[in-house]
C-alpha cells in the first residue's frame, strides 16, 4: 500500500483561521489518529473541553496536533501545534477531506433495480441491491446498498441514505369498521428529503397520507429511526438512534431528539429543543427547552420530582 503524505500546503485551506506554533515544514501527515497515538506522522486533535491538554501533549507521539487557541503553559519544541477556535470542527474538515473514502459519483450499480420513470441526476451514487421507485434524486446524493425508495420520494442534492433504509412506504393509519376490522386510510402523499440530509442504516420513513412527510435541509437521522406519516422535521435537527416520531408531529429547526426517545403523534416540538435519552414526549414542547423522562417534563420539573422521591 502506497501511503500518501500531506504537507502544510495540503491542509492549509481546510484549517480555517489558525495560528501555527512550530515549523510548518515539519508537517508531514500520513494518518489521522486519536491523541494517544504512537504514530509520529499522525495528525491529532485535543477537544477544547479537555482539562488535561498539557498532559496529552506530553504523552502523544504525534508531531502535529490541532488544539484550541488558549495559551499553553509550556513549549513543545518537537511538535507543530495548530491553534484554532474549535479543534474538533477543524479536524473534521481535515479528516473528511483527506482521510475518508468518497463514494464515486455517476455510478448506478448494475444490481440496483430502478423505475424507468425515476428522475435521477447524473452525479449520484446508487449502490448494490437497491430498489428505487418513481422518485427524484438530486445531484451529489448517495444511496448506499439494499435501500428501498418507494414511488413519490423526492430527494434533494447532497443527501446520503445509508444501507437497509426504507423511505416512502405506506403510513400506519388504521381505523376500525363496525366489526372491529382494521381499515387502512389511503396514503398518497410524498416524502420530501431536502438538501444535505443524512439518513443512517435501517431507518424507516413513511410517506404522508394526503399531504407530505418532510425532512428539512441539513437534518441528520441516525440508525433504526422511525419517522411516521406526515411528520415534518425542520432544518439542522438531530434525530438519534432508535427514536420514534409518531404521525403528523412537527419538529422545529436545530432540535435534538436523543436515542430511544418517542414523540407522540400530532404535537409540535419547538426549535432548538433537546429531548432526552429514552424520553416519552406526550405533549408539545416550546422552543429552546430541555425535556426529559417518561412522560417527558421540562428538565427543572423532572429534577424536582426525582428529588421529591429521593427525599421521602
The residue (of 138 and 164) whose beta carbon lies closer to a second copy is 164
- CB neighbours of residue 190 within 10 Å: 19
Residue 67 and residue 85: Cα distance in Å, rounded? Answer: 8
The residue (of 25 and 49) whose beta carbon lies closer to a second copy is 49
Residue 75 and residue 247: Cα distance in Å, rounded? Answer: 57
The residues, ordered by sequence, that sit 6+ positions from 237 with a Cβ below 8 Å of its Cβ are 216, 219, 220, 251, 253, 254, 255, 256, 257
Q: Is 268 a catalytic residue?
A: no
Least CB distance to a second copy at residue 28 (A): 19
Sign of the torsion angle spanned by Cα atoms 138, 125, 199, 255: negative
* Furthest CA-CA distance within the chain: 82
Closest CA to 149 of 224, 221, 204, 211: 204
Least CB distance to a second copy at residue 211 (A): 6
The residue (of 77 and 101) whose beta carbon lies closer to a second copy is 101
Backbone angles phi, psi at 19, to 5 degrees: -125, 135
Least CB distance to a second copy at residue 121 (A): 22
Out of 115, 187, 226, 229, pick the active-site residue: 229
Least CB distance to a second copy at residue 146 (A): 5
Closest CA to 161 of 101, 118, 99, 204: 204
Q: Are 64 and 94 in contact (CB under 8 A)?
A: no
Grid coordinates representing 6 are 500531506
Grid coordinates representing 180 are 372491529
Residue 185 and residue 39: Cα distance in Å, rounded? Answer: 60
The residue (of 75 and 210) whose beta carbon lies closer to a second copy is 210
The residue (of 77 and 179) whose beta carbon lies closer to a second copy is 179
The residue (of 27 and 32) whose beta carbon lies closer to a second copy is 32
Least CB distance to a second copy at residue 296 (A): 10
Alpha helices in 102-238 (DSSP H): none
Least CB distance to a second copy at residue 77 (A): 26
Coil vs helix vs strand at 90: helix
- Residues marked active site are found at 229
Amino acid at each position: 500500500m502506497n501511503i500518501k503524505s500531506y504537507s502544510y500546503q495540503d491542509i492549509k485551506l481546510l484549517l480555517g483561521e489558525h495560528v501555527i506554533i512550530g515549523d510548518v515544514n515539519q508537517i508531514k501527515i500520513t494518518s489521522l489518529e486519536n491523541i494517544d497515538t504512537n504514530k509520529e506522522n499522525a495528525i491529532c486533535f485535543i477537544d477544547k473541553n479537555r482539562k488535561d491538554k498539557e498532559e496529552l501533549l506530553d504523552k502523544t507521539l504525534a508531531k502535529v496536533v490541532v488544539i484550541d487557541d488558549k495559551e499553553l503553559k509550556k513549549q513543545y519544541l518537537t511538535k507543530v501545534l495548530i491553534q484554532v477556535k474549535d479543534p474538533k470542527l477543524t479536524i473534521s474538515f481535515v479528516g473528511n477531506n483527506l482521510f475518508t473514502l468518497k463514494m464515486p459519483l455517476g455510478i448506478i450499480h448494475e444490481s440496483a433495480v430502478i423505475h424507468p420513470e425515476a428522475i435521477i441526476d447524473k452525479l449520484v451514487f446508487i449502490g448494490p441491491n437497491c430498489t428505487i421507485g418513481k422518485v427524484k434524486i438530486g445531484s451529489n446524493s448517495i444511496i448506499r446498498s439494499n435501500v428501498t425508495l418507494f414511488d413519490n420520494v423526492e430527494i434533494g442534492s447532497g443527501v446520503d441514505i445509508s444501507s437497509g433504509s426504507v423511505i416512502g412506504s405506506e403510513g400506519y393509519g388504521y381505523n376500525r369498521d363496525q366489526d372491529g376490522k382494521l381499515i387502512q386510510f389511503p396514503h398518497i402523499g410524498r416524502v420530501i428529503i431536502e438538501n444535505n440530509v443524512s439518513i443512517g442504516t435501517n431507518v424507516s420513513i413513511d410517506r404522508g397520507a394526503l399531504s407530505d412527510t418532510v425532512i428539512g435541509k441539513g437534518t441528520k437521522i441516525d440508525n433504526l429511526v422511525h419517522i411516521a406519516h406526515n411528520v415534518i422535521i425542520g432544518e439542522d435537527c438531530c434525530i438519534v438512534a432508535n427514536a420514534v416520531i409518531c404521525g403528523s408531529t412537527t419538529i422545529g429547526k436545530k432540535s435534538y431528539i436523543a436515542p430511544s426517545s418517542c414523540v407522540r403523534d400530532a404535537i409540535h416540538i419547538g426549535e432548538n429543543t433537546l429531548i432526552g435519552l429514552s424520553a416519552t414526549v406526550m405533549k408539545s414542547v416550546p422552543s429552546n427547552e430541555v425535556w426529559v423522562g417518561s412522560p417527558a417534563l421540562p428538565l427543572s420539573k423532572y429534577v424536582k420530582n426525582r428529588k421529591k422521591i429521593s427525599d421521602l
